[in-house]
Structure 1
Amino acid sequence: MNTQVKLISVVIAMILQPTTVFAAQDDKIDKDIEVITVIGRHAHYKNDEAHAAMRSNVSLLNTPQSVTVIPAAVIDDQLVVTLGEALRNDASVSVGRATTDRERFSLRGFTIEESTNLLKDGHQHFSKYRLPIALIDNVEVLKGPSSLLYGQSTPGGLINLVTKKPTFDSFAELSVKGDENGSLRLGLDLGGSFNEEKTIRYRAILEKEDNKNWRKYQDGSAQESDFIVGSLLTDIDVSDDLTLSLHFDSSDEVAGQDSGALVDDNGKVIGGDALIWDMPWTKVDAQSQNYGADINYQISDNWQFDAGYNNQHNERERWESKPQTQDDFDTVSGLYENKPYDKLEDWQQDAFYFDFVGSADFAGMSHDILIGGNYLKHEYSSLKVKGDTLIGNLNIGTIIPRQALDYADAKAESESYKYYGVFAQDLITLNEQWQVLLGFRFDKQEKADADNDSVLPKFGVIYHPNENASIYANYSESFEPQGNITDDEDANFGLELDPVKGIMYEIGAKWELFSGKLRLNAAAFDIKRENIVLEVNLENNPDFEMITTQEGIQRHKGIELGAIGEINENLSLITSAMYLNAKYDAHNEYQGNRPEDVPQLTASAWLKYSISENTAVNLGAFYESERFADAKNSLEKSGYTRFDAGISYALPLAGNDLLMRLNVENLFDKHYLAGGENGEINVGKPRTVKFGLSYKF
């Protein structure tokens, strides 16, 4: 941590120095002059709040935690179509293996679990499906353990998707996106009020996507997918103090499978970058529905009550050829095994939350208080039927016919659990310079052979050297419930495992420049994940085959730097970098190893320059250093830097603007290996031209 502390100290020292240049500029402003805000065609990038970080409208300068907000303007400028494309703007996030129907991520080197570490509008959301970016306004990245407010999760942090909301004023927006591979996405976004009083407002979104991949099956056909999503949201002002919000969204996707590429011991892609090993008949057919209601009641000037309910239903059927390429591929003959199967899955989840949010003054101090709780019921069932193992041949492009499999012969599995938690948090303002955050949570899970409960503390302190800066430190924890050991061949059979625990210490600084238009961030952190479950083989034990213990420890230390906002009226940017020292401190197999697909150094930068009122250009760069393709650290993927570029032009048309965008992803056609898992790796997309048209009226 010595290097990290030195770098953080430099940033803190800069903040503590008198900002004479900017103060001198501010002194020239007459405070009595009326300020008129002019909204132009080019939106800028800085947001001042991330609601999910504190579950209330607290500014980021008053938040003792590292948080990044990826705003709608960046998502639009980059023609983002997947969540992974948005998250590349934060260097602390790495995109792991991406398959047809979903993406995997890690944050500060720890896996983002699909069932616990992703939020939607600040509340837990199950994410084993392709999350529709058409519904998303911005993305909040909350770094470090956040179990105090959200319950069980891994210690890297949380990702919160903030959806588009109903509007007071009426509008309609038509959009078209596409790329040179033949993908086409048609969108319609409507908003406004149903009545003259504007007490009933709505937002309706519909997008139809026909996607074509640049990678191809062995018969020469491209992997394709059809995706449609629609949503309807309404806000109803029942009274001056009470608002009822209703939401519904539904998506349907049918897509061919692409499990990723196989690389040899030298990191070379076998069969070429564009080859898909799966059979062309593989497919995923997935549907998702969400519906629910939220209320906001203003109890008094200082207190409000929020509560909400959401029901989520996901169904997915998979027809897999499942090429077994990791261990048994014969590089000379081209032969490899396929173990096909059909699988039908169903997830249902009910979630409820409540929050009391308010402020009060007592004992000579100001208190921003949050008291709340949440409940979740999760159910899963599946049917899986396996086919006969068949042999493919890469050298001649053998196409194995699909087998007729019957679910009457399937193996059934199911899982269900409930968990709930209550918490309290107090942000205490001692004076103009000092704030203290105190919080605790009680959490309990009810699951067969896995009942766990936890009590979690959180502590933070913030120092404001001036009104434009803050320096903070925090301590926080996370937990991941485990279960009992159910294998009677295990020497610890019947033992109830403790939750896997994450502990983090973090110090950081935030500094706003240019009258608050640009924010600089720096953070150093030390996260220890302990009680990791280990299975150790007992070779010479006549009674047991293995013993399960919780002696594993994973330690991640790092430093993050970032900047977001406006340099001047023409230049905006979002940029970040992270250095991460990650390894297994204690492990029976991976002692001293670096976790799978975790780079030591990552960086990203995206700049937007407005040439004129109508025209802007963009330039982006994304860097990842070397990473290991497996936890054994047997294969290293080379580092790479990828450049993107784009241009946008607003054409006046019938009293409004037709906004045209043209982007080039991977401008210099850099070959690189992206995320992956279990020996299967995603190949970076080659140079690709993307376009977008939108007209709002």
Structure 2
Amino acid sequence: MKLRTRFLSAAFDWRITDDLLLQVNVTDRDYKKLGNPSSWSFAPGAVRPSAKEIDNTRIWGQHWERNHYQNTRYGANLRWEAAPWLTLRAGWMQSDSERGYADGVSNTFQADGSFTRSGRFFGPGVDTMNQISKDTRAQLFGDFRFETGTISHQVTAGVQYHKDWSVRYSNGWAPYVTVFSDGHLEDGPRYVDRPVVAPFDRGARNATWTDTRTTFTVGDDIRLDERWSLLAGLSHSTIEVRSQGWSTPPYEESAVTPTLSLIYKPLPAVTTYVTYMESLEQGGTAAEQFGGAPVVNAGESMKPMVSDQIEIGAKWSVGGMLLSTALFQIDKSLQYYDISDPAAPVYVQDGRQVHRGIEFTAFGRMAERWSLIGGLTLPDAKVKKQEQNPALEGKHPTGTAERLAKLRVEYDTRWLPGLTLVGGVQYTRHRYADQMNTDRLPAFTLFDVGARYATTLAGRPLTARLEVQNAGDRRYWNNGSEVGEPRTLTFSLSTDF
């Protein structure tokens, strides 16, 4: 595999007056990779192998497959303290991207234990799926501070705008071509020459997709006294989708969603709260293939749905640590692939998924030279309100682990000032890769170790970082179609100018 990347970033702050601040930032990224790792899918009757059988230090794709991504992002923020009681904030960001890749190339396990490799190829000169995307975001807010008697208010009102726009060829999908059909894991990766394919008419490069979201928000942060406060707000969101050359019909959906939080401080170092909020969420989009088969409604985007969340929690500041715990419930729409006919999966939006659980977090400095950040989440997610497939009710949504834990500890050494030793552990309990919960992904634990050294060079701060990720070289299924990364060594240098 050959990888070439370029990343440039610049930021500029200008204090125009004591009350007016302008911030400008620009980033440019170019990423080129030759020899892609493979995703894995499963034909009807195929059984998922153990991740231990897949050597993740080797490339299971082909050396001639390539991926190219280029992105330029630039934006500005303006903050004006117009008066003691008024702050105005404005922001704008533009992102321009272009992707080129061999689309839909993957390995598919067969019922007999072998695997095939197939994908879409366009012939000389047009052998990558090119897509141009533009992402524009803008916002304008005002913060108003005033008092009514003994009660203080900070009212925030404004608007946010977000527009995605993309261009693709009108005939985007070439026919599937089988690269080989008799691979076996015990033989390792199989490398072959690129298939010779007939010319394919991709049509005009004017099939466009436009996704626009506009949100008007007003909220009031109300301080009742030293212990009680209230945050109340309303948002009006509109999502509009327009497409040409895709199966999604145009639509426009709007909703008014509330946010309400009640906060109580029984002690100066303890904060308790209860929060209820709703939001209008964009629906998912059907992939080009699922389970090794082409999706019937590939490219179709589901309509937006309203989700709601309830959370009850507490935060405690003790020493240099912040400890928190929260009970939560999230109720949102469910989108999944209906595989009643495994050879013709259909992406559908049906039913709801409810995520309940409890979460614990801790971060900060626990001793003079020791600091940590960690968390434990105990979720319980279930599917409900299924009309198309009632058998799914009570099942766990795909990809949702029953337990998640992370801990990262840092130690500032005594023997070498500026040197910090780092260690981390991450645990993910089993998850399911299919809607009926028959394909269970095993639990896994990952360890990271590393060090950070901060010094100065020519009067400038310099920080060197060295880290070994997945130090135990654990082989695991990262999700239903990808094997996790092997032991990886990273090194970086950073400075301020």
What's the TM-score bracket when you normalise by the shorter of the two chains? 0.7 to 0.9
Higher relative contact order (CA 8 A, sep 6+): 1
Correspondence for 2:38: 259
Matches within 5 A, 1:212-291: 223-256=1-34, 257-261=36-40, 264-268=47-51, 271-291=54-74
| Helix, strand or coil at the partner of 1:278 | coil
**Aligned mate of 1:503, from 288, 305, 308:** 308
Distance 1:271 1:667, change over 3 A: closer
How far apart in 2 are the matches of 1:633 and 1:625?
A: 14
- Contact 2:40–2:106 (Cα < 8 Å) also in 1: no
Correspondence for 1:114: none
How far apart in 1 are the matches of 2:75 and 2:385?
A: 44
Deviation at 1:554, TM superposition (A): 0.7
**Aligned mate of 2:88, from 289, 293, 305:** 305
Deviation at 1:627, TM superposition (A): 1.3
Deviation at 1:387, TM superposition (A): 5.1
Deviation at 1:278, TM superposition (A): 2.1
Q: Answer yes or no: is 1:359 the counterpart of 2:145.
A: yes
Matches within 5 A, 1:619-638: 619-638=423-442
Distance 1:229 1:550, change over 3 A: closer
**Count of residue pairs brought into register by the alignment:** 449
**Aligned mate of 1:331, from 100, 107, 113:** 113
Correspondence for 1:189: none
Distance 1:669 1:322, change over 3 A: closer
Gaps of 5+ in 1: 1-222, 484-496, 540-544
Matches within 5 A, 1:242-641: 242-256=20-34, 257-261=36-40, 264-268=47-51, 271-320=54-103, 322-326=105-109, 328=110, 330-331=112-113, 335-340=116-121, 342-383=128-169, 384-386=172-174, 389-392=177-180, 393-395=182-184, 397-403=190-196, 408-410=201-203, 413-448=207-242, 449-481=250-282, 499-514=304-319, 517-530=320-333, 532=334, 552-587=351-386, 588=389, 590-612=392-414, 613-641=417-445
How far apart in 1 are the matches of 2:79 and 2:457?
A: 40
Q: C-alpha offsets along residues 381-438 of structure 1, whole Å, 9 cap, x if unaligned?
A: 2122525613414257241315467574358642113221211111111000000111
Q: C-alpha offsets along residues 579-632 of structure 1, whole Å, 9 cap, x if unaligned?
A: 000121233163222122211101011111122134332221111111112333
Distance 1:455 1:651, change over 3 A: closer
Q: C-alpha offsets along residues 220-239 of structure 1, whole Å, 9 cap, x if unaligned?
A: xxx23211121222222333
Q: C-alpha offsets along residues 317-363 of structure 1, whole Å, 9 cap, x if unaligned?
A: 1124713515x47535x555444453111111222110101321113
Normalised to the residue count of structure 1, the TM-score between the two structures is 0.59
Q: C-alpha offsets along residues 470-496 of structure 1, whole Å, 9 cap, x if unaligned?
A: 00000001222569xxxxxxxxxxxxx
Correspondence for 1:118: none
Q: C-alpha offsets along residues 27-69 of structure 1, whole Å, 9 cap, x if unaligned?
A: xxxxxxxxxxxxxxxxxxxxxxxxxxxxxxxxxxxxxxxxxxx
Distance 1:459 1:280, change over 3 A: same
Q: Which residue identity lines up with residue 66 of structure 2 in the other structure?
A: K
Matches within 5 A, 1:51-62: none
Distance 1:671 1:432, change over 3 A: same
Q: Which residue identity lines up with residue 351 of structure 1 in the other structure?
A: R
Q: Which residue identity lines up with residue 302 of structure 1 in the other structure?
A: W
Distance 1:617 1:249, change over 3 A: closer
| Helix, strand or coil at the partner of 2:482 | strand
Deviation at 1:446, TM superposition (A): 3.0
Q: Which residue identity lines up with residue 467 of structure 1 in the other structure?
A: P
How far apart in 2 are the matches of 1:481 and 1:606?
A: 34
Correspondence for 1:57: none
- Contact 1:248–1:292 (Cα < 8 Å) also in 2: yes
Distance 1:403 1:371, change over 3 A: farther
How far apart in 1 are the matches of 2:449 and 2:62?
A: 35
Greater per-residue strand proportion: 2
| Helix, strand or coil at the partner of 2:483 | strand
Q: Which residue identity lines up with residue 13 of structure 2 in the other structure?
A: D
| Helix, strand or coil at the partner of 1:420 | strand
Deviation at 1:562, TM superposition (A): 0.6
- Contact 2:144–2:155 (Cα < 8 Å) also in 1: yes
Distance 1:338 1:652, change over 3 A: closer
Distance 1:407 1:440, change over 3 A: farther
Gaps of 5+ in 2: 123-127, 243-249, 285-301
- Contact 1:281–1:402 (Cα < 8 Å) also in 2: no
How far apart in 2 are the matches of 1:559 and 1:259?
A: 35
Greater per-residue helix proportion: 1
Normalised to the residue count of structure 2, the TM-score between the two structures is 0.81
Q: Which residue identity lines up with residue 240 of structure 2 in the other structure?
A: E
Deviation at 1:548, TM superposition (A): 11
Q: Which residue identity lines up with residue 20 of structure 2 in the other structure?
A: L
How far apart in 2 are the matches of 1:240 and 1:249?
A: 28
- Contact 1:469–1:509 (Cα < 8 Å) also in 2: yes
Correspondence for 2:474: 670
How far apart in 2 are the matches of 1:601 and 1:302?
A: 46
Pick which of 453-462 and 589-598 moved more.
Answer: 589-598
| Helix, strand or coil at the partner of 1:277 | coil
Matches within 5 A, 1:9-158: none
Correspondence for 1:166: none
Distance 1:459 1:401, change over 3 A: same
- Contact 1:267–1:637 (Cα < 8 Å) also in 2: no
Deviation at 1:503, TM superposition (A): 1.2
